[in-house]
A and B are shown apart, each in its own frame.
Chain A
Amino acid sequence: MIEPALRVEGVRKSYGHVEVLKGIDMQVKPGEVACLVGPSGSGKSTFLRCINHLEKINSGRLYVHGELVGYQEKKGRLYELSDRVVCRKRAEIGMVFQNFNLFQHMSVLENIIEAPVRVLKISKDEAIAHARELLELVGLSGREESLPKQLSGGQQQRVAITRALAMRPKLMLFDEPTSALDPELVGEVLTAMQNLANSGMTMIVVTHEMGFARKVADTVAFMDAGLIVESGPPDQILDNPKQERTKSFFSKVL
């Protein structure tokens, strides 16, 4: 059996006394696109942040490409990984944020080559060549020298996607990538994401764009109150949900 890109077993996470994730189980195969949908506060973003260890989980197991995230298991005991190793593993997972989070003091090109040069220790020329290639794919050739604040939200988000891709990740995480955008700019970002999905990238997308989920996702998982209530192919979840909670959510959203 092929090792899943993401395997999650009984993951729990609390902030103080508030339990945000109450036992998440999930599997994503390589090349698949999984969309996480659900009301705000249901723990979608927190779960996404656990996958690249931006948040530490309290219990359960989380594997990316068969490797435990943030820990090492030896003779039945868990050992926390050093910051250095965690950083190296994070570099294999791309993440795109709701607010783009481009480095404000750097040009588009500098934003993209920063991590490849500093983290992967790729030569600057090679990084620049790769960055230009990727920028062309998202239709941003010629904006290399622009500063983030000179770009529209849609352009900034496409740069952010490019920046993540420049690390040649095996898995891409999207945290509500279109929620901070003007409605007319949503399309260009979704198109870029769809192209990425078509190229075979494994993607986990937290989104409220049901149209995108229906068109692109292989799996849709509906989350509520820290649990995955229901998951399956988009048609089934969006059109014929079994659970009451899912039905009532989609009846309001769709």
Chain B
Amino acid sequence: MDSKRKKSPISTAPVNSEATILNAVPIRHYGRWITTIFLLLVAMVMAKSLITNPRFRWGIVGEYIISTPILEGLRLTLLLTVVAQVLGVLIGIILAIMRLSSNRVLSRAAWIYIWFFRGTPLLVQLIFWYNISALYPEISIGIPFGPTFWQGNANELITPFAVAILGLALNEGAYMAEIVRGGILGIDRGQSESAKALGMTHMQTLRRIILPQAVKVIIPPTGNQTILMLKTTSLVSVLALADLLYTAQTIYARTFETMPLLLVVSLWYLGITSVLTFGQFFLERHFTEGKQERISFTQRLTGRSSMRKNSSQLGQAEKVERND
């Protein structure tokens, strides 16, 4: 290999010259061909069954997919997702700041919060909030051990919708706190030090210097959390709240069209998730500033980057150079 290279100096020749193009026979990927054939067969069997198995009852799926009750349920699901996620992010930011505070009491309090809400199942938390009136039949606002300004009945105050928002947001906040904390810790210490040296206060440093830079790191996992939240909202069906899943359940409890209605629900969740994934991609790209290589959405889906596409010839010349 070494002696050969000395004779034909591939490494110094320009990349696009004739000499660098190797007319080598590429490796045959027999394994890929076999798996492709196998998976194609599986896909064909599944497709055939989807089309020909009459028990899927696609006609009923079509009937329900844009029916009023389903769309109403979808509206509630989306509303819950957006409100709970936004509140979750806010709670998360506050908890993360508390957790990183030099005030030991604050940081320990945030730690306990996160420990509790991550340590118990969300379903249990939802049912717990739903039954909170068993613990506190009356809810009042006032000064602890002092006068009361306002008082109300817990059952009237805590509607299923309020319980859903409360449960989902409080739980989400615990997860978001860890994400935000990771983002803040990822910022170089020098950034906050130079801000300090310029006389900026702790809050100014956080708001103007640290958080704007941490956002870049926080966005991708927050996108994932939102997608997760969309599907997690289906848990509120235990509160008899008419979200997408609960609406479908009430319909098939009456008509026994269980499978078609679950298909309707799945199709909607899939559709919204796809839209969110799409949005997440653009958000991420927006926050990846500068002249880094920008990959298109289709490139990312197919796992192919433009770098790799034209690297087959170029790469070989480079590899030889690097071996020197």
- Complex CA distance for A225 and B201, rounded to whole angstroms: 33
* In the assembled complex, B321 has its CB within 8 A of some CB on chain A: no
- Complex CA distance for A149 and B208, rounded to whole angstroms: 19
* In the assembled complex, B191 has its CB within 8 A of some CB on chain A: yes
- Return 23 A-B CB contacts under 8 Å, by A number: A54-B196, A83-B201, A87-B196, A87-B199, A89-B199, A90-B198, A91-B199, A97-B197, A99-B190, A101-B190, A101-B193, A103-B194, A103-B195, A105-B212, A114-B200, A115-B195, A115-B199, A115-B200, A118-B204, A118-B208, A119-B198, A119-B200, A119-B204
CB-CB under 8 A from B201, the residues of chain A are 83-84, 87
CB-CB under 8 A from B193, the residues of chain A are 54, 97, 101
CB-CB under 8 A from A104, the residues of chain B are 191, 213
User: Which of A92, A102, A104, A160 has the most chain B CB within a 10 Å cutoff?
Assistant: A104
CB <8 Å contact, B290 and A149: yes
- Complex CA distance for A91 and B201, rounded to whole angstroms: 10
* In the assembled complex, A167 has its CB within 8 A of some CB on chain B: yes
- Complex CA distance for A52 and B270, rounded to whole angstroms: 56
* In the assembled complex, B55 has its CB within 8 A of some CB on chain A: no
CB <8 Å contact, A164 and B190: no
The chain A residue with its CB closest to the CB of B213 is A105
* In the assembled complex, A95 has its CB within 8 A of some CB on chain B: yes
* In the assembled complex, A88 has its CB within 8 A of some CB on chain B: yes
A194 shortest CB reach to chain B, Å: 22
- Complex CA distance for A118 and B196, rounded to whole angstroms: 12
What 0/1 readout, one digit per residue, does chain A (154-188) give for beta carbons within 8 Å of chain B?
Answer: 00000010011001000000000000000000000
- Complex CA distance for A90 and B197, rounded to whole angstroms: 6
What 0/1 readout, one digit per residue, does chain B (240-283) give for beta carbons within 8 Å of chain A?
Answer: 00000000000000000000000000000000000000000000
A97-B193, A147-B290 given as contacts; is B199 within 8 A of A114 (CB)?
A: no
Considering only CB atoms and an 8 Å cut-off, how many residues of chain B contact the other chain? 20
B148 shortest CB reach to chain A, Å: 36
User: Which of A52, A87, A95, A102 has the most chain B CB within a 10 Å cutoff?
Assistant: A87
B264 shortest CB reach to chain A, Å: 45
B199 shortest CB reach to chain A, Å: 3
User: What are the 5 A-B residue pairs with the smallest beta carbon separation, nearest first?
Assistant: A91-B199, A101-B194, A115-B198, A101-B190, A95-B197
- Complex CA distance for A93 and B197, rounded to whole angstroms: 8
CB-CB under 8 A from B212, the residues of chain A are 105
CB-CB under 8 A from A88, the residues of chain B are 199
CB-CB under 8 A from A164, the residues of chain B are 197-198
The chain B residue with its CB closest to the CB of A93 is B197
Interface residues of A in 109-156 (CB under 8 A from B): 114-115, 118-119, 147, 149
B205 shortest CB reach to chain A, Å: 10
What 0/1 readout, one digit per residue, does chain B (179-216) give for beta carbons within 8 Å of chain A?
Answer: 00000000010110111111111101000110011000
CB-CB under 8 A from B197, the residues of chain A are 52, 54, 90, 93-95, 97, 164
CB <8 Å contact, B199 and A119: yes
CB-CB under 8 A from A83, the residues of chain B are 201-202
A162 shortest CB reach to chain B, Å: 12
What 0/1 readout, one digit per residue, does chain B (301-312) give for beta carbons within 8 Å of chain A?
Answer: 000000000000
